[in-house]
């Protein structure tokens, strides 16, 4: 077997040379299937690499999913920390603010999951390298400096949609070598690689000419002395035709605020509910978010439009019977269709893909749904079991 490598520019770099030691990155003896995993893997926490997420982590991941796939929030803010773990031990590295877990560990977990299921992990491998570079950039930064990380969408034939992300972070250093980073994930509709090259060249002052999303994921940029929000907005408007809409952003933020108690109600269902209960509850959240998104804003003062949050927030139990009875529409993400094979275009260390599966999820053998090559019917494996033949035509071609 050969060590896994990633192509950066015209060079192929072994991940082990960049500090990645996982045996899971060794190439299998045959080419991996290039297909996208589920957009939102509810069973991943229960069965695979992360058996003990915190409630705060789960809530944040649900919010991240709703923001990207259902509300299409143009700007999503969150925090990162360059620090030791919560016991003040270990290396100073980028960590999840809620749990203190190393983002490199989360990225490695994503790679292992892909490799185990014989799926392409090129984006996850590029992300791992990018996180190493991002940690180094932040460690060398001063307070007020800006970090930039671009995530263009992948090929449409792999289920990717028509938007990507530009991540912008403001660094605040402390006296002990640690740092806090205020990050914004800015959603870019219908971007091209040339547009990403133009906007990143404009913001960094360096001529960039990347030709693949993986090159951008592997190469975050550090801008000394920082960038103002006005500079960022001008570059986005010039090269991406990006326009800020404070009223629209306020409405979507208000929807998340209104749904916060419902999301909290969803956490114990996700942890302890049956498959059917989890699916019904998630559908209710998605469909209710879509309902609120479709409602027009209400004028409150003169001609100024402000989105008004109901005074009494609903709980999940108030909506589940009405909105949980049907699956939401399939949503094309920057990385595929939610409800079918899909990926989030946010790096795996930031997105909510580990939380919930919109349909039937996956287990240690991979996806539980697949089409029979003989009759074309969709089979659904029992959790943790393999099939000897098709559930519809008894063909042995599906045996695994």
Distance CA 342, CA 330 (A): 10
Which H or E element spans position 48? none
Burial (CB < 10 A; 0-12, 13-18, 19+), residue 296, is: exposed
Q: What's residue 273's pLDDT?
A: 87
Backbone φ and ψ for 10, nearest 5 degrees, come out as -100, 10
User: What's 339's DSSP letter?
Assistant: T
Residue 267 is given by DSSP the state H
- How many other C-beta atoms lie within 10 A of the C-beta of residue 95? 26
Q: How far apart are CA 198 and CA 192, in angstroms?
A: 10
pLDDT tens figures, 80-96: 899 988 777 778 899 87
pLDDT at site 13: 38
Query: How far is 294 from 170, CA to CA, in rounded Å?
Result: 33
SS3 139: helix
* H-only helix segments in 7-54: 42-47
Distances (CA, A) of 256 to 69, 95, 246, 349, 397: 13, 24, 16, 21, 45
E strands in 27-73: none
The confidence score (pLDDT) of residue 39 equals 47
Number of alpha helices (DSSP H) and beta strands (DSSP E) in the chain: 10, 17
Phi, psi (deg, nearest 5) at residue 335: -130, 35
User: Tokens 């290396």 identify what position?
Assistant: 91
Neighbour tally for 277: CB within 10 Å: 14
Average pLDDT, the chain: 76
pLDDT, one tens digit per residue, over 369-386 is: 666 777 666 565 666 677
Q: In whole angstroms, give the CA distance from residue 139 to residue 357.
A: 36
Can you list the positions of beta strands (E) in the chain? 5-8, 11-14, 75-83, 93-96, 146-151, 163-173, 179-189, 221-223, 298-301, 304-306, 331-333, 335-338, 342-343, 362-363, 366-367, 369-371, 378-380
Residues of the chain whose pLDDT is less than 50? 1-40, 43-49, 51, 300, 333-342, 353-360
The first and second tokens of residue 193, run together, are 């690689």
At 334 the pLDDT is 41
Integer CA distances (angstroms), 386 to 118, 151, 162, 339, in order: 16, 36, 35, 22
Domain range summary for the chain, segments of one domain joined by +: 368-398
Give the per-residue pLDDT at 275: 86
Tokens coding 188:
């870019």
pTM for the full predicted model:
0.69
């Amino acid at each position: 077997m050969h060590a896994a490598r990633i192509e950066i520019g015209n060079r192929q770099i072994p991940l082990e040379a960049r500090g990645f030691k996982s045996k899971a990155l060794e190439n299998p003896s045959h080419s991996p299937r290039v297909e996208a995993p589920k957009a939102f893997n509810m069973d991943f926490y229960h069965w695979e690499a992360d058996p003990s997420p915190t409630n705060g982590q789960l809530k944040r991941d649900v919010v991240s999913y709703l923001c990207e796939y259902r509300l299409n929030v143009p700007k999503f803010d969150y925090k990162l920390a360059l620090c030791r773990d919560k016991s003040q031990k270990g290396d100073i590295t980028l960590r999840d603010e809620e749990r203190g877990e190393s983002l490199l560990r989360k990225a490695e977990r994503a790679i292992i999951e892909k490799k185990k299921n014989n799926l392409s992990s090129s984006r996850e491998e590029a992300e791992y390298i990018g996180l190493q570079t991002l940690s180094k950039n932040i460690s060398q930064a001063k307070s007020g400096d800006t970090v930039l990380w671009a995530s263009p969408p992948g090929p449409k034939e792999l289920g990717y949609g028509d938007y990507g992300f530009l991540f912008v972070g403001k660094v605040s250093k402390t006296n002990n070598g640690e740092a806090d980073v205020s990050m914004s994930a800015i959603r870019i509709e219908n971007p091209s690689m040339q547009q990403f090259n133009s906007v990143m060249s404009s913001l960094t002052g360096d001529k960039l000419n990347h030709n693949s999303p993986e090159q951008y994921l592997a190469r975050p940029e550090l801008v000394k002395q920082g960038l103002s929000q006005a500079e960022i907005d001008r570059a986005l408007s010039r090269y991406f035709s990006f326009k800020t809409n404070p009223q629209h952003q306020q409405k979507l933020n208000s929807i998340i605020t209104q749904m916060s108690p419902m999301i909290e109600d969803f956490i114990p269902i996700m942890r302890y509910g049956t498959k059917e209960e989890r699916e019904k509850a998630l559908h209710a959240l998605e469909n209710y978010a879509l309902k609120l998104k479709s409602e027009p804003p209400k004028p409150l003062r003169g001609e100024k439009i402000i989105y008004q949050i109901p005074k009494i927030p609903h709980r999940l139990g108030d909506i589940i019977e009405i909105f949980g009875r049907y699956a939401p529409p399939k949503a094309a993400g920057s990385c595929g269709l939610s409800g079918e094979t899909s990926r989030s275009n946010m790096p795996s260390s930031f997105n909510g893909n580990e939380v919930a599966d919109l349909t039937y999820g996956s287990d240690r053998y991979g996806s539980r749904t697949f089409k029979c090559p003989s009759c074309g019917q969709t089979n659904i494996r029992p959790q943790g079991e393999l099939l000897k033949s098709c559930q519809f035509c008894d063909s042995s071609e599906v045996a695994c």
